[in-house]
Chain A
């Protein structure tokens, strides 16, 4: 049985529909990331699970019990704010023991649990410090410790790493996950950082404008994106417009602008249909010779960017379209300069084909 279950949850704020008929089940012990751009409704969803907001329509179940209208203190789901909300007038110890004290556990148990958890997050020595005396990373750990100490089975994390600097954020990802897993907790983690979500989650939920766009394991989300939006938001890609020209057994042929034709292995499209073809930058190679079995298009290097361990070319194709390619430095036999003529290659099976969106291609990509 799912630990958390949302059925047709809808929430409106005046004219704006923040959540539109959300259906989602989260299993016991699962680490789920809710990923989406700003304003997608991520935080609203989290607050509804916590009981800080009530849905306008739909049902929320926790442990099989309908919890609509049940106040937050009776849900056993602790909400961790991005700014941590450590009570500024209480010490670390008082903050962490807040849940147990308010729930009136007996003295010994409070002391034992609190010191155990402080030990676990390596803050036992700072137990008498006030929140403002701690670094950002320490504050984050206190907030986490406070949530765990309250005995909650569900952790609702609202951008838990968002207030930390970039380096620390990356370091703490794995720690956060292992802490949750070690304690056997269930976590719902809201973020707009796709790298963070892919790295940390068992399952990723992509939210966009109040609707679920796709749910899957990080691998599924990356390698089988179901929409232009997901492709663009997770990982990013080159997008080109075209029309389906031929449909065959092994795939189809798409005619791009200027009559350029490329092979794609996806089927299920009809001839003449207007489509968008997406190719990830990492799947595009740049060379001087054609690669057999791939689409090969002539072009000219327009810009070269070094990004640490890899190199990114922007190439202007013969039909005027631009395509980016990202190549690991170790895989690059030689580097090309701006103005050099090159061959751009990408295999048909790495091409995603989507029907052309009604609102236009830019809207789908720029919504990110």
Chain B
């Protein structure tokens, strides 16, 4: 007799289908809609982009220019991240020294701080007299807003912001990877006579290649999609993400969506193959190359010399990078808020002070309170809804044969540039599409769900793997627990850490998101969007205060994350 095949866990089919259905409509549909929109409205796109009766194919040339600029910026930022991130990750993973956790936190900070606040801090630091310029006794900022870095032709300030915001992805991903590699390999290599640099090149780096790649991919995706800080520091240059925001607000929807889908497709074409490659377990990379004997000997000799004499450089330079890109801007902002409190310290005008701008005629304080309320409602609602979806989804991914496929699909909303996402949600659910909601709080929530679900799922899966959950559940079952008993009494309590971490990560992300929010928010302004508005209205002191407010808020969240992840 052939018995019916029974799955290890009877998630009843209803739950599975409801979850998959919700996942499809709330997460996948918005992700893919933009691309299909371009095909569905191809005529409109053609007329607006290629055969415009007035400007011809000017829009198409704009798109190409912006895309090239964006990729140049992102690639150079990632290259910089790798050069300085690898040694820093190594130090964090292998050395113990006082202040290690503090350094870790500082590196992570840009992930937590809402980017528009962070972008504003960087702007103040480099380009105004309140920053480094004033500190050095100059009468202006150290660098002008549009000063270019030679060779790569990217504005300095934009580059700094993108490095700061992407650096944590490379460092933290690699740090985890290095930690997972048994230290005995290195010890063995050292006792066999290799210097520490040779060991690093021959042993650690090939084993850590998946970490290098996934860190680089995350950083690249982040840089490509970055909007909040970029809007503030971009000056005259335009990245792809902010072009989408601008065009969407000018109702050039066809151009915006065409470019959005181009951006998405190119990003996927670069990122997905890497993700798939990295996703296969036990990957390492040993490039089969043959070096001339003499060169090889010299390399080994140099590495020996460098390991002995130059190791300080490896310790100090990455620290300097973190210091200048993360710590100084924050200090400058905190310092400026105090100096600008009652009046502009340079002109002496009360109108330039924080108090006047907050409580004066423009009454930014009121807007800030409203924005805080909006942000918190959005963050709570989107995180809660995502949570309801992510918990069963994580179980499906772990328990069903098609779990791997779903997990790969989940990478897609994670790497979609957020302004493209915002546009997609607007077109899908907004007045032009299903007309489910007008731009405003509901649309923001729908947008945030798309990127919150993957964040929470990943964090639950991280807790799931290596927890031996299946064994505990099987054990509970043979002791008399039904599948639901087992999940309730055993699995969920064991996954509590992962679920909570996912909650906070998603909450933080939602609180800081700017790019997508800007497109779908209508009149319900969130705090990061408010900072952008303030900067555009030249209400510098109000922006200073709001940035400080955001930084403090995110520091509290960071402390919470620490507390939750440490207890184990």
Interface residues of A (CB under 8 A from B): 50-52, 54-59, 68-69, 71-73, 75, 77-79, 81, 83, 85, 87-89, 98-99, 102-103, 146-147, 150-152, 156
Contacts and interface: CB of A to CB of B under 8 A. Distances in A.
A150 B475 contact: no
Contacts, number: 85
A69 B4 contact: yes
What are the 9 A-B residue pairs with the smallest beta carbon separation, nearest first?
A: A85-B475, A68-B3, A79-B478, A72-B477, A99-B479, A150-B479, A102-B481, A85-B471, A72-B478
Given A71-B10, A81-B471, A102-B485, A52 B478 contact: yes
Contact of A54 (B4, B475, B476, B482): B4
Nearest to B7: A54
Contacts of B468: 83, 85
Given A58-B1, A59-B1, A73 B477 contact: yes
Given A81-B471, A85-B468, A54 B477 contact: no
6 contacts: A51-B477, A52-B474, A52-B478, A54-B3, A69-B3, A81-B471
B6 A73 contact: no
A73 B482 contact: yes
A89 B6 contact: no
Contacts of B563: none
A138 to B, nearest CB: 17
Contacts of A71: 6, 10, 477, 482-483
A71 B4 CA distance: 12
Interface of A is mostly: loop
B490 A87 contact: yes
A73 B1 CA distance: 23
A205 B560 CA distance: 55
Query: Among the interface residues B476, B478, B479, B480, which one has the most CB atoms of the partner chain A within 10 A?
Result: B478
A77 B474 CA distance: 12
A51 B482 CA distance: 13
Chain B interface residue bracket vs A: 20 to 34
A77 B478 contact: yes
Query: Among the interface residues A73, A88, A150, which one has the most CB atoms of the partner chain B within 10 A?
Result: A73
B3 A147 contact: no
Given A68-B3, A85-B468, A85-B471, A52 B477 contact: yes
Contact of B480 (A58, A83, A150): A150
Given A78-B478, A85-B474, A98-B489, 18 more contacts: A51-B477, A52-B8, A52-B474, A56-B3, A58-B1, A59-B1, A68-B3, A72-B478, A73-B480, A78-B479, A87-B475, A87-B490, A98-B481, A102-B485, A102-B489, A147-B479, A150-B480, A152-B478
B494 A72 contact: no
Interface in B439-479: 468, 471-472, 474-479
Contacts of A89: 493-494
Contacts of A75: 478
Query: Among the interface residues A52, A54, A89, which one has the most CB atoms of the partner chain B within 10 A?
Result: A52
A57 B472 contact: no
Contacts of B102: none
B2 A56 contact: yes
A102 B474 contact: no
B285 interface: no
Given A55-B3, A89-B493, A98-B476, A73 B481 contact: yes
Contacts of B489: 98, 102
Contacts of A87: 472, 475-476, 490, 494
Contact of B474 (A72, A99, A103, A151): A72
A85 B5 CA distance: 25
Nearest to B478: A79
